[in-house]
Structure formats: structure tokens, C-alpha cells
Structure 1
Amino acid sequence: MQRFTGKTAIVTGSSSGIGEGCARRFAAEGANVVLVARDREKLDKVAADLDPDRTLVCEADVSQREEVDRMVEAVADRFGAIDILHSNAGIAVMKPFEDTTPEEWRNVMATDIDGMFHCAQAALPHLKASKGCIIHTASVSGTGGDWNMTAYDAAKGAVVNFTRALALDLGKHGVRVNAVAPSLTESELTAGMLDDEELLAKFHERFALGRHATPEDIAGPVAFLASEDARFVTGAILPVDGGMSASNGQPPQ
């Protein structure tokens, strides 16, 4: 399929993991792809096997509004329009609440939710013009709590309701806003968890499909939400969790 030929998609946090997988999916379907993250070296590695005529690398920290504004300006200068904004960049702190420092709390909020605000506001004039769409990467951690992840869960909970509220505000402009809510997915963020065989087995017990996700598992639903097939979908939080949220929490029998 070439659903995005002539379209331009910004993907934040695209130097690895879900963001990289989604950027590659957009590129495979014909989009101009803008790779955005803080690590230029990793971005260049992702860009190396993409079409250089349809790829723009932007080193930017989404928690910093000035850097986001510069990134959006560079995209508009290069491709002339913005059709898709996939706000995916995120970080996590995994430790007990009493050990979480104010600085750690603020850093998670600055990237995981403030960054989405900055990107949406900076790109909005272009999205209005193109009748484009925004897809946020939320999480099952935004719809239910985890042990020892208060900052991340609070940020992802904010993403969930930010998505809904933004969909209401932007609908009048023809701009759709949705989110995916993945469960455990292969990424740099989850590498330590995936290396813990005992913990991983506990996770797999909770998935109806019996496994965790790959970035490609998330990329398909993101591409759907960005496509014309989802033209009447807005304000949705789409679980992409292998059936984890289908459970009431009781163990398998």
C-alpha cells in the first residue's frame, strides 16, 4: 500500500523503538518522513537506509519549545506541508515513589506530555491547512497503574485525556487527534525488563496473545489512524496491547 504518497509525517522519538518502527512504516507507504530525537547519531543510522529525497533528520528535544519551533519550520521549508504528527517521544523513571526526585518527575513530564503540547501547538497551523492528524503514543500505563512508575503513569494518563480534549478542540478545523496505548514493547526503554526472564514470563501470562509487542506491531495501528480509512475516528485511545486490557486482573487458570 502507498497510502501516504505526497504526505509528510513527523515522528518524534524516532531514533529507536516504536518511533523508528512507525517512521519506517510511513516511509514504506510513500510518505516524506521527518525523524526527530535528541541523538543525531542514532537518527542518522535510521535514515541511512531510507530514501534521502523523502527523509529529513531533525535533532531536537521536544521538551524545549524553541527547538520544536525550529524543527517545524525546517519541515515546512523542506516539504511545504505537514500532514501527520506522531508524537511518540517519551522517557520513564522506574523506581518507588518515595525515591523519585522532583527533577526526575519534572523530566518525565517535560518530555512525555509537555513535548506533545509543544509539537501540537507548533505544527497546528500546518495541520489546519492540510486537514491533517495527530497520533500520540500513550500507554496501558495511562489507563491503569503500575508499581514503581508513578511519574510515567501520571504523564501517560495526561496524554490520554490530552488526546481526548485536543480532539474536541481541533475537530472544527478538520484535524483528527487519536492515540495508541501499547503494552510492553521492544525498545531501549524496556530493554532491562525484556532481559529479565522471570519478569518477562509474568508479563506474557497477562497477554491474551502470549507475547510482548514489536515496534512493527504498533506501527500498523498508527498508520491506520493516520490514514483515510480512519477519517471518522477522533478522540480514540486504541489499545495495542495483545489483549492485556481484556483481563480483569485475575490470573490465568
Structure 2
Amino acid sequence: MRLKGKVIIVTGSTMGIGKAIAQKVVAEGAKVIIHGLEEELGMQVVSELGPANARLHIEDIASEGAAGRLVDLALQTWGRLDSLVNNAAIVAASTIYDTDHAFLNRIMEVNTAAPLFLIQAALPHLIASRGAVLNIGSINAYSGEHNLLAYSMTKGALMTMTRNLGDNLFREKGVRVNQINPGWVLTENEIARKKEHGLSDTWYENLPNVYTPSGRLIFPEEIASASVYWLGDESGPISGQVVDLEQFPMIGRNVPKDENTVPLK
């Protein structure tokens, strides 16, 4: 077991990528704090993993004091904290034409500020365990879809934070901070989001090859498997790194000029 005895907080883990990560770290021997807004879904995850392995905390991650309450739950339950996974995020459409001040502040608050403050609250305990932080970003950090302006901005900021803290915290305190940038992942929320945009119930079954060279989208479980390396001791002294998990290179890609390049609406 690659994470035996470790205690890990995974935000946004009642569904999607966060849930898959929580399931995977428990399978690898860790204890986990499940977090999110969906109490019924969270209770299902805890039931599946078992109360000896998981505890649930339902709260908006951006609420005042939420970070401290998550950390306290881990300490009160298992007496230690080894790793954080900052996964909770709002994925909401916006463009230059409809992004107002309040909307941008809310997206930044959840997607970028909350991860920073959770690291801050957990830091004394991560120093004690020489722990690790894994931030879940997005390939949208590099530019982003045309209708994901605010979201893409927050993921770009998260990437800068990861590199900054990954350098300073590791040199000064021995705490590693890394990030993975998933590409297009077939989560429950992504299925629903595309249906809201007018696509069919089975939109993900016949995607253009330019988006899915493998013939399908990435599964949450595949992101979870990659996460284990960064949360465990086997990643050794590696810190301040951002790794893209996509089916094709984001920079310098040779996009074929054929009918499969028509973007999805």
C-alpha cells in the first residue's frame, strides 16, 4: 500500500475527480476527509469507504474558518495530517462580455484563494509530517476555452501559486507542493454541463478524434491513479511541478485540418 497510515484531506470529494481520488487513496491505505456541498452524496462515499477510513465535512470551502475546521476534523479523528488535495472548484461559463465583479470574485475565492488558505491552516501539521500538497488544476490554465474566462484565470493563478509555494515551502519547511492539470475528464458535472449547452445525453460517445485520440475521454479514476504518486513518499524530493494529464500536448500541437476539427458547441 503506497499511502499506508497517511491522513489526507480531499476537497470537493463528494463526486467526480475528488471522489475518485478519495477512493484511490483509501485503497492505498490512507484515511481521508471527504468534503463538499452535497451531503447525501458525501454520506454515500463515506458509507462505501467505511467510517474507519473516512469522515465527512459539508461546508462551502470559501466560508470563513472552513479551512481550519477541515484540518481540525482530521486531527481530532486521526491525530495527524499528511497531505492535502485541493480539488474543489467552480466550473462556470463566462466571457469578457458577461464577467462581472461579483462573479469573478466568487470564482477566484473558491478556485484559488481557498486552496491557499487551506494550505496555510494545515501548514504546521504538514511540516510535522513532512507532508505534501496536490493542487488539481486544469489545462485551461494556459489559455482556456473561449467561454471559460474566469475559470481559466483562476487555474492560471493556482499554477503560479503551486510553483511559488512548491519552491519556498519545500526549501524552508520540507513540504512539497505540486499540481496536476487534467484535460477533458468524463465526470458527472461535465456530462451535465454539456447537456445544459444543448448536447445529447450521449454526447461523449462519439467525439471528434482531435479531442480524443484514444477514442474516449479521460476517466476520473485515471486522474486518481496519477494523484497517488504525488501524495506518497515515492515522489521523493520533487516539488513545485505542474504536470498536464491530457491526451495530446497543449503546446505545439499539430492539429489536423479535417472535418474532425470542428469545435463542440
1:67 matched to which residue of 2?
A: 66
Partner of residue 248 from structure 1, selected from 250, 253, 261: 253
Contact in 1 for aligned 2:137/2:159 (Cα 8 Å): yes
1:1-253 equivalent positions in 2, closer than 5 A = 2-171=1-170, 172-192=172-192, 195=195, 196=199, 200=204, 204-245=209-250, 248=253, 250-251=255-256
Q: Distance in 2 between matches of 1:203 and 1:67?
A: 41
Q: Which has the higher helix share?
A: 1
| Stretch deviating more after TM superposition (232-241 or 152-161) | 232-241
Q: Distance in 2 between matches of 1:107 and 1:39?
A: 19
Q: Percent identity?
A: 28
Contact in 1 for aligned 2:207/2:215 (Cα 8 Å): no
TM-score, normalised via structure 1 length: 0.92
Deviations 1:184-216 (Å, cap 9, x if unpaired)?
A: 112243124554369755564234433211110
Query: What secondary structure does 2:94 align onto?
Result: coil
Q: Which residue identity lines up with residue 9 of structure 2 in the other structure? A: I
| Stretch deviating more after TM superposition (78-87 or 189-198) | 189-198
Query: What secondary structure does 1:33 align onto?
Result: strand
Q: Distance in 2 between matches of 1:106 and 1:203?
A: 35
TM-score, normalised via structure 2 length: 0.88
CA positional deviation for 1:173: 1.1
Query: What secondary structure does 1:44 align onto?
Result: helix
Larger radius of gyration, structure 1 or 2? Answer: 2
Structure 2 segments unaligned to the other structure (5+ residues)? 259-265
Query: What secondary structure does 1:48 align onto?
Result: helix
Structure 1 segments unaligned to the other structure (5+ residues)? none
> Which of structure 1's runs of 4+ aligned residues deviate more than 4 A?
197-204
Paired residues, number: 252
Contact in 2 for aligned 1:15/1:42 (Cα 8 Å): yes
Cα pair distance change 1:199/1:40, threshold 3 Å: closer
CA positional deviation for 1:31: 0.4
Q: Distance in 2 between matches of 1:204 and 1:92?
A: 24
Deviations 1:94-115 (Å, cap 9, x if unpaired)?
A: 1332122322211111110011
Cα pair distance change 1:244/1:191, threshold 3 Å: farther
Cα pair distance change 1:56/1:206, threshold 3 Å: same
Contact in 1 for aligned 2:22/2:32 (Cα 8 Å): yes
| Stretch deviating more after TM superposition (211-220 or 133-142) | 211-220
Contact in 2 for aligned 1:33/1:55 (Cα 8 Å): yes
